[in-house]
Structure 1
Amino acid sequence: MKSNFVFQNLCGTVYRQGNVIFTPDGNSVLSPVGNRVSVFDLVNNKSRTLPFENRKNISSIALSPDGNVLMSIDEDGRALLVHFRKGTVIHHISFKAKVNHVSFSPDGKYIAITHGHKIQVWKTPSHLVREFAPFELHREYTGHHDEVVNVCWSKTSRYFVTTSRDMTARLYTLNPLEGFKPKQFAGHRDVVISAFFSEDEKTIYTVSRDGAVFAWSAKRGVSAEDSDVEMDILDAPSTSASGANLALEHTVAYTRWGISNRHFFNQPGTKVVCATFHPKTSLLIVGFSTGVFGLWEMPSFTSVHTLSISNEKISSVAVSASGEWLAFGAAKLGQLLVWEWQSESYVLKQQGHYYDMNTLSFSPDGQNIATGGEDGKVKIWNASSGFCFVTFPEHTASVSSVEFSKQGQVLFTASLDGTVRAYDMVRYRNFRTFTSPTPVQFSSLAVDPSGDVVCAGSQDSFEIYMWSVQTGKLLDILTGHEAPVCGLAFSPTGDQLASASWDRSIRLWSVFGRSRATEPITLSSEATSLAFRPDGKEVCASTLDGQLSFIDVEEGQIKSVIEGRKDISGGRKMDGRLTAANNAASKYFNSVTYTADGTCVLAGGSSKYIIIYDRQEGVMIKKFQISQNLSLDGTLEMLDSRKLTAAGPIDSIDLDGDNSDLEDRLDRTLPGATKGDMSKRKYRREVKTTCCRFSTTGRSFAACSTEGLLIYTLDELNNFDPFDLTLDLTPENILKQLQQEEWLIALIMALRLNEIKLVQVVYEKIDLRSIQLISRQLPQIYIIPFLNFVSKHLESFPHVEYDLLWISSILTAHGKHIKENKGQLAPTIRGLIRGLMNLEGSVAKLSDQNTFSLDYILSQIERNEKKPIDQNGLTELGIEVDI
């Protein structure tokens, strides 16, 4: 059993807080998710989560204009400089203050950040070399009297405009200019949210929270020569020729700015939360606190359209470089939207669970994952793309368990609302609802391998209910437990049902036999979950004292026990009186599952760890830490005594009453409410795992955590592979080898460098006669990347015969290696099969079209043979006839 699982993706949560941004090409959206950053590829319909983690939740991100460097800043002002394409952290720095906004200059040489009531401009570190002190402060700018909220650069990177809570905006120059003083734009009556330059930099727009838009342009004066001619007034530093040239070169800096127009959105009872501007099309995009966004064309302030897209306020808005797509993030709903305003259609619409996930289940083919949440919704996620494509909202209370049928065509869900529902995964509808004679809350669920019988365990009546899926009728009620039934599982053979309860027992039921008598198997403590081994001969149960008990099904006895208290314990709560080692609340597993081959078990609990145990040896193989986010409770092993006050930990003190905005000071929470309602919550979320499951292929596993749905995999999906990189491995040397017809060396060097365009150039230059020889000599380590490239090449380029020759030669030369490592090569082979199937479909379609065309031509010839031959008529049909 391999244990080198690596983090692949974070699903279930698409946006938490901070700002969303587009990549320079406009094809992807970056969204902060807790202390991670997710990238949503809008063109290829895929998502990925970058592997780095900030110390706390991210408050602001920025991407350099060339798309190479990502700046990610958390709530405490600690920043990471990340190589965006590799996803690796290059440098880190602490700004030691909260950062509201960060922005790269258009030339990519500088980074501007808000630092309280000041603005700092830093020189952008190089992402190509490692430096001892990479961050160099260029200048610090002052002048604002309150917190700065936004920075906007001019397209020349010489100036930038800042907005602040002091209801003003200021214009600064990057470098000092003779006689220049920062310009102040005053007149707004509320916080200035954003300020923007027009395309020609002759107009500056400022947007305030109360819905006012001011257009600032040069003040008009009267010409000294002709009183009928108006001129723009410039604050020239001097009357000399050099001063005049300086004034013309820096027109923006020396312009005397004044208000030329005042516009108002006139949206009653709402506030402007966020705004952005697209200079090329002069479009102003504004998001309001009521979930409405609008587009206005400047400078005429013509409304293009307004639309309500959410029930909560829009927290962030971004526009792509082309101006076609708009991205919106709603923090309260965890919603991310990408809107194409010209066609008025959604490009992307994703929303996670409103609150925590409770349970998950892999589909039999491992392609989809079903999750159930505290909000009563059931969502289906694509494991490879990371997108949710179906949401079932029928449940009215927390979903406690979800299970796929063995064929994968039906999804069963159990909920605390007293219903068990069956969903058709072909038509995506709820076709059956199962209820009990008296209302109960269902806490566990099991489905017969045939899919004909579904069972659910109750939380209050301690009974197990059995229904027929075909008829929907209640078949039987199994009694015997004396406490809530927390776990149910059918054996893979379908002849037995295992149930675990808080009454410290496990029962094995012969549900299809005549006798309902069963003897309880006593455990050391209250059971929390159970799972059958894939061969059906063993059951693993987790208990409240931190043990994993393994029960032999035939003998009905506990064969072995794994003590996991020390392994699972970890993390101290902020207000906890006990240390992590002595806290019993985090010392047990609440979810356990077997691996696909049954040699190991995977277990998770109310701590930050997920653990894999070897079943035979009873030892821990590997421990995974699901999060390093210090914003979550239970991440730290030791508390920081510097944050302890007389009133308790400083993080536990509610500071909402000190906010400057009235709507932030208002307390609308329900007294004592913790979960299950739609009110605002004040307590810190705990890092924990509620459910973990292995996929049927055994190549990946997923876990429901506080952060979202974490997916770990054995398949290497990174774009960059630094294997055997040397200084002479350059594109120039590769092309030189290609000119010398050293095909194999050039191909290996291109695969090492892993530049797709370079691999394509080398691949298409190789001589046909050398394909078989190169295929036999290609090292096995390059088979996976090469076959991945060929499968994508097959789908995108017309060199069909050339690609088929390569595929045939590779499979012939390395068939034994592929068969021995079919698990590792499974994703590659599936991609290859998909490409070949698409090719087969297109060839078949083309053949059918040609057949129909030939049949039509022949039928026309037969028809014309009965008539005198008309050369012009045949020529019109496209047939050349020589008479």
Structure 2
Amino acid sequence: MKSNFQFQNLCGTVYRQGNVVFTPDGNSVLSPVGNRVSVFDLVNNKSRTLPFENRKNIASIALSPDGNVLISIDEDGRALLVHFRKGTVLHHISFKGKVNHVSFSPDGKYIAITHGHKIHVWKTPSHLVREFAPFELHREYSGHHDEVTSVCWSKTSRYFVTTSRDMTARLYTLNPLEGFKPKQFAGHRDVVLNAFFSEDEKTIYTVSRDGAVFAWSAKKGASAEDSDVEMDILDAPSTSASGANLALEHTVAYTRWGISNRHFFNQPGTKVVCATFHPKTSLLIVGFSTGVFGLWEMPSFTPVHTLSISNEKISSVAVSASGEWLAFGAAKLGQLLVWEWQSESYVLKQQGHYYDMNTISFSPDGQNIATGGEDGKVKLWNATSGFCFVTFPEHTASVSTVEFAKQGQVLFTASLDGTVRAYDMVRYRNFRTFTSPTPVQFSSLAVDPSGDVVCAGSQDSFEIYMWSVQTGKLLDILTGHTAPVCGLAFSPTGDQLASASWDRSIRLWSVFGRSRTTEPITLSSEATALAFRPDGKEVCASTLDGQLTFIDVAEGEIKSVIEGRRDISGGRKVDDRLTAANNAASKYFNSVTYTADGGCVLAGGSSKYVVIYDRQEGVMIKKFQISENLSLDGTLEMLDSRKMTAAGPIDSIDETGDNSDLEERLDKTLPGATKGDLSKRRYRREAKTNSVKFSSTGRSWAAASTEGLLIYTVDETTSFDPFDLSLDLTPENIIKTLEQGDHLIALIMALRLSEKPLIQRVYENIPPSSIRLISRQLPKVYIENLMKFINHHIENTPHIEFDLLWIAGMLTSHGRSIKERKGELAGTLRGLVRGLMNLESNVAKLSDQNTFSIDYIISQMERNEKMNTSKKINGHSRDDLADLGIEIDV
């Protein structure tokens, strides 16, 4: 259980670089996030991150037309072929060079990749059979004089058109044809970014970076430059039956192409960055360098829509199969947007932190996670869906700490801008701002369990400030530390405040007592983080020498120490003069937290590892590696000698001046600035963990890392934990017992076998009238397993009343036993509370929608009745109404 945590999701980062892709059904978007791929389900409003990792940041991805196979290629040209539905890696291959674009043929049989100025077409490996050499090269195509930028297939998969930096496009056939030469489309004055086939394949559109769109169609008349085969087939098809058949089958190949129309976007001061085309609706979607995108209907080039959606350039654009949804990725700001152009509304709008994520905090129910970043923003993420639903931009400097109040819906944040802010989680507004008498930078924060008092530690005056949340007034200033206060924590019982400082001491303050005197507890080195055990009897502090020190609160003495220098030691950075084994820079923890039961300690630091320790034994249980991305500093243990040059490691050399485009050669960063503009080429991000926190349910923990917000949960899908097994305990016997009406025995047998589908079948077949009796007769040994199953059932099925009856029956019958085992069952009970709160919010939302719908229907009925009444009156003549005694004044 303690070491069974598995990677579940990556939040906080929605797009980094590369191309975004829609699934064939159009319901999900695939987005590269570093060296991983995230899948955003737009219909069910959920996100998940596939478990595989590339060696470096992903440069290009493609999904097969049937949605079974995904290929992801990193910056070095190393590719992974992945079974998309299972998320498992099938094959590896290195294309030994940078790949700008990868594309599956519409029939799914071939994969085309760009390889410098050439194009390679490979046969698609089977995802059903394991092969020794799965990748088979079909053909290699050449002809371009510079780097190829894109490949576009025709719908018949017989041809493809490529674009290049040599300002031309070329048409190739998949298989050799008699007398065919690759057609060249020249005339553009800048890099040709994309080329597309129309639906009937009679027109080819080419888009260049300077905003020109050329439409190519068949020429009228012959030319001396055309081949003899083309002349024979096109001018005299009746002379040869085989030539006529060949011309009909390969019309695209033997067409003499020429420019039929030239169009220009006329967007001043901007360049085209990306484009895509939807053949069925003939819509051309283009993203520009100013954050504007536009829709044009071809071939008439009629502008349909133009909108600015970002402050930075749009890096990638994709269109769904139906043509209704457009997906955009902006790499510089880390934005992912899905736009429904017909209704002009956002389907998805997500953005991560602009720079590093500094701190995280779980809400008391474990449903939401708050994050604070270097960009001064505070974001709230849903732990289940993985989406950000609120962003608070009030802070003007880096956010150092975020903390939820244990009681009530309030979030507190501390920042280096000298303010502590309180946010209402119901109305999502900043209702209190706390400041100090003299401007200071706040580096730590603690909230009283009752939520009435908030404390913050300063980085420059070395004091601790206390405020009243109700009045917003400063209550007290605690002095005594002689160095920055790096950690603050209130005891869960609320009677003591612990503070850790760089002055190598920890102090315990009785903030609600009359005495303010406190004796410092001396540590072996500078303190970096602090955490209280959930029962409030122990404090854990991490120090700069890599130790975890455990202090008894009642006696104020150090009880034990865990030496973690070897465990947390990370990899070697590119510019390090020392090896990883001899470098002390990363051999300490900067964040520490207890598990929900207090039995383990989780700690992370400036390293690629997060370590979990057993508190009683003082031994390491497991090390979690947060990333294997070689694009980050500190993931390799040893540097690669092949990348060493006379000027130092090749990764540390600035290659900005070697780029072909003027915009990419310009270095707009200020000298000496290490944070800010992420487009600076020579800057390398470092693999590290800034904060780790455990969920209150104890079933998940999160880490704020360089890659984003990593969430790990207990993996129960692969665990099979039966007990009291016997030879007659089989699924067949359980079903037979259930059919005989022995529901209690069938339920006990299913719980013994511990197979969820079987438990669910027995559970849902129990009559509601028998629930109370079966709950009372259920042996105590099965309480925990049944409560865990109800917890899972209430979140994934619509049987609301049925589950509520079971919860009521179990709590009524076994309430005393559950109370005695509250420490053991704490996670399960919190999970039930979370499920019930989700139910409450869903039912409330549904009720509001139904109330509105009913009011609307009633108002429409009343309106229709009035209209029908007036029509009946108007349908009679005045004499008929007079005979009825009705007089109408005209």
Deviation at 1:2, TM superposition (A): 2.2
Q: 1:503 and 1:418, CA in 2 relative to 1: closer, same or farther beyond 3 A?
A: same
Between the aligned partners of 2:441 and 2:94, the Cα distance in structure 1 is 49
Partner of 1:390, secondary structure, is strand
Partner of 1:584, secondary structure, is coil
**Given that residues 180 and 237 in structure 1 are in contact (C-alpha distance below 8 angstroms), is that contact kept between their aligned partners in structure 2?**
no
Partner of 1:586, secondary structure, is coil
- Name the aligned partner's letter for residue 26 of structure 1: G
**Given that residues 233 and 244 in structure 2 are in contact (C-alpha distance below 8 angstroms), is that contact kept between their aligned partners in structure 1?**
no
Alpha-carbon deviations, 1:800-839, whole Å to 9, x = none?
Answer: 9999999999999999999997846975896588669968
Deviation at 1:848, TM superposition (A): 14
Q: Tell me the residue number matched to 1:671.
A: 671
Q: Tell me the residue number matched to 1:690.
A: 690
Partner of 2:221, secondary structure, is strand
* 1:710 paired to 2:702: no
Between the aligned partners of 2:845 and 2:206, the Cα distance in structure 1 is 55
- Name the aligned partner's letter for residue 794 of structure 1: P
**Given that residues 790 and 803 in structure 2 are in contact (C-alpha distance below 8 angstroms), is that contact kept between their aligned partners in structure 1?**
no
Of 677-686 and 153-162, deviating more is: 677-686
Deviation at 1:766, TM superposition (A): 9.2
**Given that residues 219 and 233 in structure 1 are in contact (C-alpha distance below 8 angstroms), is that contact kept between their aligned partners in structure 2?**
no
CA RMSD between the two structures: 4.0
Q: 1:515 and 1:625, CA in 2 relative to 1: closer, same or farther beyond 3 A?
A: same
Q: 1:551 and 1:118, CA in 2 relative to 1: closer, same or farther beyond 3 A?
A: same
Deviation at 1:116, TM superposition (A): 0.6
Q: Tell me the residue number matched to 2:877.
A: none
Q: 1:277 and 1:841, CA in 2 relative to 1: closer, same or farther beyond 3 A?
A: closer
Q: 1:493 and 1:794, CA in 2 relative to 1: closer, same or farther beyond 3 A?
A: closer
Q: Tell me the residue number matched to 1:794.
A: 798
Between the aligned partners of 2:323 and 2:720, the Cα distance in structure 1 is 37
**Runs of at least 5 residues in structure 1 that lack an aligned partner in the other structure:** 224-230, 725-733, 854-883
Alpha-carbon deviations, 1:217-262, whole Å to 9, x = none?
Answer: 0112399xxxxxxx99948899421011111111111111100000
* 1:429 paired to 2:426: no
Partner of 1:177, secondary structure, is coil
Between the aligned partners of 1:236 and 1:443, the Cα distance in structure 2 is 83
Deviation at 1:195, TM superposition (A): 0.4
Partner of 2:495, secondary structure, is coil
Deviation at 1:790, TM superposition (A): 8.6
1:77-476 equivalences in 2 (<5 Å) = 77-221=77-221, 234=234, 239-476=239-476
Between the aligned partners of 2:640 and 2:853, the Cα distance in structure 1 is 73
Between the aligned partners of 2:158 and 2:790, the Cα distance in structure 1 is 46
Q: 1:467 and 1:201, CA in 2 relative to 1: closer, same or farther beyond 3 A?
A: same
Q: Tell me the residue number matched to 1:864.
A: none
Partner of 2:370, secondary structure, is strand
- Name the aligned partner's letter for residue 58 of structure 1: I
1:682-761 equivalences in 2 (<5 Å) = 682-716=682-716
Q: Tell me the residue number matched to 1:71.
A: 71
- Name the aligned partner's letter for residue 489 of structure 2: A
Deviation at 1:682, TM superposition (A): 3.0
**Given that residues 236 and 254 in structure 1 are in contact (C-alpha distance below 8 angstroms), is that contact kept between their aligned partners in structure 2?**
no
Between the aligned partners of 1:329 and 1:160, the Cα distance in structure 2 is 26
Q: Tell me the residue number matched to 1:863.
A: none
Deviation at 1:723, TM superposition (A): 12
Deviation at 1:30, TM superposition (A): 0.4
Deviation at 1:453, TM superposition (A): 1.0
Between the aligned partners of 2:804 and 2:202, the Cα distance in structure 1 is 59
- Name the aligned partner's letter for residue 213 of structure 1: V
Deviation at 1:433, TM superposition (A): 0.9
**Given that residues 233 and 243 in structure 2 are in contact (C-alpha distance below 8 angstroms), is that contact kept between their aligned partners in structure 1?**
no
1:479-878 equivalences in 2 (<5 Å) = 479-675=479-675, 680=680, 682-716=682-716, 792=796, 794=798, 823=827
Partner of 1:261, secondary structure, is strand
Between the aligned partners of 1:310 and 1:594, the Cα distance in structure 2 is 41
- Name the aligned partner's letter for residue 451 of structure 1: G
Partner of 2:664, secondary structure, is helix
Deviation at 1:509, TM superposition (A): 1.0
Deviation at 1:679, TM superposition (A): 7.2
Q: 1:442 and 1:629, CA in 2 relative to 1: closer, same or farther beyond 3 A?
A: same
Deviation at 1:680, TM superposition (A): 3.9
Of 832-841 and 524-533, deviating more is: 832-841
**Given that residues 318 and 326 in structure 1 are in contact (C-alpha distance below 8 angstroms), is that contact kept between their aligned partners in structure 2?**
yes
Q: Tell me the residue number matched to 2:227.
A: none
Alpha-carbon deviations, 1:675-724, whole Å to 9, x = none?
Answer: 156874632101000000001111000000000000000154x7x99999
**Given that residues 60 and 101 in structure 1 are in contact (C-alpha distance below 8 angstroms), is that contact kept between their aligned partners in structure 2?**
yes
Alpha-carbon deviations, 1:298-355, whole Å to 9, x = none?
Answer: 0000000100110100000000000000000000000000000000010100000000
**Given that residues 4 and 715 in structure 2 are in contact (C-alpha distance below 8 angstroms), is that contact kept between their aligned partners in structure 1?**
no
Deviation at 1:754, TM superposition (A): 11
Deviation at 1:541, TM superposition (A): 0.5
**Given that residues 368 and 382 in structure 1 are in contact (C-alpha distance below 8 angstroms), is that contact kept between their aligned partners in structure 2?**
yes
Q: Tell me the residue number matched to 1:856.
A: none
Alpha-carbon deviations, 1:595-652, whole Å to 9, x = none?
Answer: 1111111100000000011111110011100000000000001111010000000111
Deviation at 1:476, TM superposition (A): 1.1
Partner of 1:794, secondary structure, is coil
Between the aligned partners of 2:763 and 2:119, the Cα distance in structure 1 is 52
The two structures have a TM-score, normalised by structure 1, of 0.85
Alpha-carbon deviations, 1:568-589, whole Å to 9, x = none?
Answer: 0021111111111111001000
Between the aligned partners of 1:178 and 1:742, the Cα distance in structure 2 is 74
Q: 1:502 and 1:831, CA in 2 relative to 1: closer, same or farther beyond 3 A?
A: closer
Q: 1:34 and 1:386, CA in 2 relative to 1: closer, same or farther beyond 3 A?
A: same
- Name the aligned partner's letter for residue 524 of structure 1: S
The two structures have a TM-score, normalised by structure 2, of 0.85
Partner of 1:202, secondary structure, is coil
Task: State how many pairs are aligned.
Answer: 819
Between the aligned partners of 2:852 and 2:276, the Cα distance in structure 1 is 51
Q: Tell me the residue number matched to 2:46.
A: 46
* 1:24 paired to 2:24: yes
Deviation at 1:165, TM superposition (A): 0.4
Q: Tell me the residue number matched to 2:882.
A: none
**Given that residues 69 and 84 in structure 2 are in contact (C-alpha distance below 8 angstroms), is that contact kept between their aligned partners in structure 1?**
yes
Between the aligned partners of 1:444 and 1:155, the Cα distance in structure 2 is 59
**Given that residues 18 and 59 in structure 2 are in contact (C-alpha distance below 8 angstroms), is that contact kept between their aligned partners in structure 1?**
yes
Deviation at 1:54, TM superposition (A): 0.3
Q: Tell me the residue number matched to 2:872.
A: none
Q: 1:408 and 1:172, CA in 2 relative to 1: closer, same or farther beyond 3 A?
A: farther
Deviation at 1:492, TM superposition (A): 0.9
Alpha-carbon deviations, 1:772-800, whole Å to 9, x = none?
Answer: 9x9999x99999899967975537xxxx9
Q: 1:631 and 1:677, CA in 2 relative to 1: closer, same or farther beyond 3 A?
A: closer
Between the aligned partners of 2:77 and 2:853, the Cα distance in structure 1 is 63
- Name the aligned partner's letter for residue 340 of structure 1: E
Of 258-267 and 784-793, deviating more is: 784-793
Q: 1:19 and 1:507, CA in 2 relative to 1: closer, same or farther beyond 3 A?
A: same
Deviation at 1:286, TM superposition (A): 0.2
Between the aligned partners of 2:15 and 2:337, the Cα distance in structure 1 is 10
Alpha-carbon deviations, 1:348-373, whole Å to 9, x = none?
Answer: 00000000011111111111111110
**Runs of at least 5 residues in structure 2 that lack an aligned partner in the other structure:** 224-230, 723-731, 858-890
- Name the aligned partner's letter for residue 798 of structure 2: L
Between the aligned partners of 2:565 and 2:485, the Cα distance in structure 1 is 23
